[in-house]
């Protein structure tokens, strides 16, 4: 019963955190207004980027944008250090750091005309700080989305090892001890098999997700057009679109349909390079079209799949626990055996979006703040949205420990750090564990795993489309720093800035470079820097929130203490990585150079913050 009690304890903490701590932040710190017409969405309503939006729709858009693959992948890897550190950081890190970060980023942006966190940095810290923020944001988003394009292209493509890929995207328990081929992998979506006894068969190709993904896009455009242009009520449109989405998901798993379309045939389906181009084209469209037409409505529909998946996972877990199916964590509370990476500080970096993520500051201040109808809505969308993300991260913790059939099975899978890196191992473990939970509700375990796999794949795309629009904003803001009116006008055009954003993403997705004598894409070569860069941005966003509170003569400890913790852990990890990049057995001077530049930019930005702090303190 320990797992069930632990999870109920987490639920209690989430409830208390939202009811009391978010209430304290809303009333005593941010002092949110409950009036209509005060937000940038009303003041600058242009029907493209600024648009007053109902809280339920905006919550779905915000939640789907931040809840991509990261809150699943991070905790799925971090449980290698034991279930207790992962659970504690997901829950307490989410309540006291991640929620404050997301909530604060929305409020600061709304109070500054819907400006992004980078633009707000200029107002509070000075123009040099803005440029430093823009450089870090551009690198982070372009790199991350370049790798996401690679991963999604692999997911949508047919499995080259099979003439026709199996239609049920389910990892299964290995019944034999036949040794699979063992090789080194650098691709985050490649299958990695550490030992012949690895218990789970892993897949990185999910062509079954193509038809449902395309269907959601079509439904999103129809919902946006019918609701905003034809005035149809949101309720019936929501019911119809979600129902049709579920139907299309089932059809997408049908073998005859996949065979007819050729999506599961390597000779007929688009190859990985073609899928990369298709994904970049979609990202461009999502960036330039009015937010209500595709991006917002697509995320809104997708969010219901996520709600359904999370509810099914927890209900299945509770039922199975009551009947004795899930009575043990199957993993040590804190692992006694040494792992290649030290638990401190890397557990904080690895879990990332499951507790706090700098990418959320970009979403909160980039798209969400421009659509907020009333300031008071920031509480449920910012703080509540991060609670939802933390709940998703918690499903990963329990699925990748309790969801395994035995302690021996878990130990075999989590034998070493190198064996669980990449998309296939972590997603495979998550799908396997959550599939076992949902099967307790009476569903076939194969169908349950297939449903979760399709949900996971569909949400990987929400990060790409939202991030491309955010990168477009970043480029337009960079353009404003030029003295030339011509440059500002050209780069300020949303079509031009979106093309540049897609080219930057494509650079990391397509460009081949040499690394340790092997050819690899630029994005994969630099991927090791993503975790620390993402957490670095979170710390810097908390820094901006702290300076804003200082300037507003409000209590700063609510963001100052989290800022010190996040920046301290991140810089610690960056220095360790920098040393390893240079002095390891396989040094990478490219990673060392870029990592060193990021450390330099961070220290510079901190000095700018100290100067700003002194100015505000004197004033």
8 A C-beta contact, residue 533 and residue 597: no
Three-class SS of residue 440? coil
Three-class SS of residue 200? strand
- The pLDDT of 308-334, averaged and rounded, is 94
Going by C-alpha positions, the residue among 366, 398, 452 that lies closest to residue 171 is 452
Of the listed ranges 84-93, 280-289, 295-304, the least confidently predicted one is 295-304
Q: How far apart are CA 532 and CA 569, in angstroms?
A: 9
8 A C-beta contact, residue 201 and residue 172: yes
Tens of pLDDT along 180-233?
A: 333 333 333 333 334 444 546 666 778 888 998 899 999 999 999 999 999 999
What pLDDT, on a 0 to 100 scale, did the predictor assign at position 5? Answer: 96
Tens of pLDDT along 539-551?
A: 999 999 999 999 8
Q: What is each CA distance from 559 to 348, 485, 527, 541, in whole angstroms? A: 17, 38, 28, 10
Report H helices in 157-261.
Answer: 210-228, 234-252, 255-261
With vertex at residue 592, the alpha carbon angle to CA 590 and CA 596, rounded to the nearest 5 degrees, is 120
Residue 418 neighbours by CB under 8 Å, 6+ apart: 192, 194, 340
What pLDDT, on a 0 to 100 scale, did the predictor assign at position 616? Answer: 76
Going by C-alpha positions, the residue among 234, 22, 141, 33 that lies closest to residue 530 is 141
8 A C-beta contact, residue 506 and residue 276: yes
- The pLDDT of 256-263, averaged and rounded, is 90
8 A C-beta contact, residue 254 and residue 168: no
Checking DSSP bridges between strand 518-521 and strand 512-515, what pairing results, if any? antiparallel
What pLDDT, on a 0 to 100 scale, did the predictor assign at position 382? Answer: 97
How is 488-541 classified by DSSP, letter by letter? HHHHTSHHHHHHHHHHHHHHHHH-EEEETTEEEEHHHHTGGGHHHHHHHHHHHH
What one-character DSSP code corresponds to residue 608?
H
Q: Locate 601 and state its tokens.
A: 């930019």
Q: Locate 530 and state its tokens.
A: 């993503």
* pLDDT > 90 fraction of the chain, expressed in percent and rounded: 59
- CA torsion angle 141 146 147 153 (round to 10): 140
pLDDT for residue 306 is more than 80 = yes
pLDDT for residue 170 is more than 70 = no
What pLDDT, on a 0 to 100 scale, did the predictor assign at position 524? Answer: 78
Q: Bigger pLDDT: 101 or 337?
A: 101
Q: Cis before residue 204, ω within 30 degrees of 0?
A: no
Average pLDDT of the residues of the chain: 88
What pLDDT, on a 0 to 100 scale, did the predictor assign at position 422? Answer: 66
What pLDDT, on a 0 to 100 scale, did the predictor assign at position 377? Answer: 97
What pLDDT, on a 0 to 100 scale, did the predictor assign at position 14? Answer: 98
SS3 content of the chain, % helix, strand, coil (to 5): 70, 0, 30
pLDDT for residue 339 is more than 70 = yes
Q: How far apart are CA 97 and CA 84, in angstroms?
A: 18
What pLDDT, on a 0 to 100 scale, did the predictor assign at position 152? Answer: 87
Tens of pLDDT along 465-488?
A: 889 999 999 999 999 888 889 999
Three-class SS of residue 379? helix
Tens of pLDDT along 128-145?
A: 888 888 999 999 999 989
Three-class SS of residue 164? strand
8 A C-beta contact, residue 43 and residue 370: no
pLDDT for residue 148 is more than 70 = yes
Q: Bigger pLDDT: 69 or 297?
A: 297
pLDDT for residue 328 is more than 70 = yes
What pLDDT, on a 0 to 100 scale, did the predictor assign at position 25? Answer: 97
Residue 117 neighbours by CB under 8 Å, 6+ apart: 105, 108, 109, 133, 361, 362, 364, 365, 366, 541, 544
Tens of pLDDT along 553-589?
A: 999 999 999 999 999 999 999 999 999 999 988 888 8
The span from the first CA to the last CA of the chain, in angstroms, equals 57
With vertex at residue 94, the alpha carbon angle to CA 91 and CA 97, rounded to the nearest 5 degrees, is 135
Of the listed ranges 122-126, 383-387, 520-524, the least confidently predicted one is 520-524
Residue 136 neighbours by CB under 8 Å, 6+ apart: 533, 536, 537, 540, 598, 601
Q: How far apart are CA 407 and CA 330, in angstroms?
A: 4
Q: Collect contacts of 220-223 with beta carbons under 8 A, ≥24 apart.
A: 220/294, 220/297, 220/298, 220/300, 220/301, 221/293, 221/294, 221/297, 223/297, 223/300, 223/301
What pLDDT, on a 0 to 100 scale, did the predictor assign at position 560? Answer: 96
8 A C-beta contact, residue 285 and residue 464: no
Report H helices in 253-271.
Answer: 255-261
Tens of pLDDT along 178-188?
A: 333 333 333 33
Going by C-alpha positions, the residue among 397, 298, 375, 378 that lies closest to residue 79 is 397
Tens of pLDDT along 428-476?
A: 889 899 999 999 999 988 788 878 877 887 777 888 888 999 999 999 9
Highest mean pLDDT: which of 149-163, 370-384, 513-527? 370-384
8 A C-beta contact, residue 294 and residue 220: yes
Going by C-alpha positions, the residue among 563, 565, 537 that lies closest to residue 550 is 563
Three-class SS of residue 173? strand
Tens of pLDDT along 33-84?
A: 999 889 999 999 998 899 999 999 999 999 988 987 788 989 999 999 999 9
């Amino acid at each position: 019963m320990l797992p069930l009690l632990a999870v109920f304890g987490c639920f209690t903490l989430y409830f208390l955190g939202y009811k009391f701590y978010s209430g304290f932040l809303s009333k005593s710190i941010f002092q949110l207004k409950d009036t209509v017409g005060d937000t940038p969405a009303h003041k600058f309503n242009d029907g493209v980027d600024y648009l007053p939006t109902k809280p339920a729709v905006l919550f779905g858009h915000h939640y789907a944008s931040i809840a991509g693959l990261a809150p699943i992948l991070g905790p799925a890897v971090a449980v290698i250090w034991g279930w207790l550190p992962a659970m504690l950081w997901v829950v307490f890190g989410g309540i006291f750091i991640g929620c404050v970060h997301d909530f604060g980023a929305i409020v600061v942006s709304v109070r500054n005309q819907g400006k992004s966190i980078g633009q707000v940095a200029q107002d509070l810290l000075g123009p040099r700080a803005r440029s430093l923020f823009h450089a870090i944001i551009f690198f982070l988003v372009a790199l991350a989305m370049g790798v996401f394009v690679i991963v999604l292209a692999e997911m949508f493509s047919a499995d080259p090892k099979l003439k026709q890929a199996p239609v049920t995207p389910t990892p299964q328990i290995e019944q034999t001890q036949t040794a699979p081929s063992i090789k080194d992998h650098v691709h985050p979506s490649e299958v990695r098999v550490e030992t012949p006894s690895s218990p789970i068969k892993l897949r990185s190709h999910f062509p079954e997700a193509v038809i449902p993904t395309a269907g959601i896009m079509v439904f999103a455009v129809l919902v946006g057009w019918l609701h905003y242009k034809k005035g149809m009520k949101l309720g019936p449109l929501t019911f119809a679109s979600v129902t049709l989405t579920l139907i299309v998901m089932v059809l997408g798993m049908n073998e005859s349909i996949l065979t007819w379309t050729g999506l599961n045939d390597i000779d007929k389906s688009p190859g990985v390079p073609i899928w990369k181009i298709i994904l970049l084209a979609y990202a461009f469209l999502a960036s330039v079209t009015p937010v209500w037409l595709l991006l917002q409505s697509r995320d809104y529909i997708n969010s219901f799949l996520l709600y359904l998946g999370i509810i099914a996972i927890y209900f299945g877990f509770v039922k199975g626990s009551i009947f004795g199916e899930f009575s043990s964590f199957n993993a040590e509370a804190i692992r006694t055996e040494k792992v290649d990476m030290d638990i401190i500080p890397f557990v904080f970096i690895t879990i990332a979006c499951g507790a706090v993520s700098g990418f959320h500051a970009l979403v909160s201040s980039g798209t969400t703040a421009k659509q907020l109808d009333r300031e008071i809505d920031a509480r449920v969308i910012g703080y509540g949205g991060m609670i939802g993300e933390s709940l998703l991260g918690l499903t990963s913790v329990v699925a990748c420990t309790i969801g395994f059939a035995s302690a021996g099975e878990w130990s075999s899978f989590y034998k070493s750090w190198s064996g669980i890196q990449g998309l296939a191992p972590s997603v495979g473990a998550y799908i396997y564990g959550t599939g076992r939970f949902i099967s307790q509700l009476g569903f076939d375990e194969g169908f349950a795993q297939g449903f979760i796999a399709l949900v996971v794949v569909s949400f990987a795309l929400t990060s790409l489309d939202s991030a491309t629009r955010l990168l477009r904003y970043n480029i337009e803001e960079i353009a404003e720093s030029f003295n030339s009116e011509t440059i500002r006008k050209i780069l300020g055009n949303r079509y031009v800035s979106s093309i540049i954003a897609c080219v930057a993403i494509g650079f990391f997705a397509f460009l081949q470079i040499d690394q340790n004598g092997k050819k690899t894409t630029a994005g994969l070569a630099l991927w090791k820097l993503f975790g620390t860069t993402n957490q670095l941005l979170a710390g810097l966003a908390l820094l901006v929130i702290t300076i804003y509170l200082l300037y507003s003569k409000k209590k700063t400890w609510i963001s100052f203490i989290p800022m010190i913790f996040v920046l301290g852990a991140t810089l610690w990890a960056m220095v360790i990585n920098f040393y390893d990049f240079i002095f390891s057995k396989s040094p990478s001077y490219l990673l060392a150079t870029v990592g060193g530049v990021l450390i330099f930019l961070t220290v510079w930005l901190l000095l700018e913050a100290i100067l700003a702090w002194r100015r505000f303190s004197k004033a």
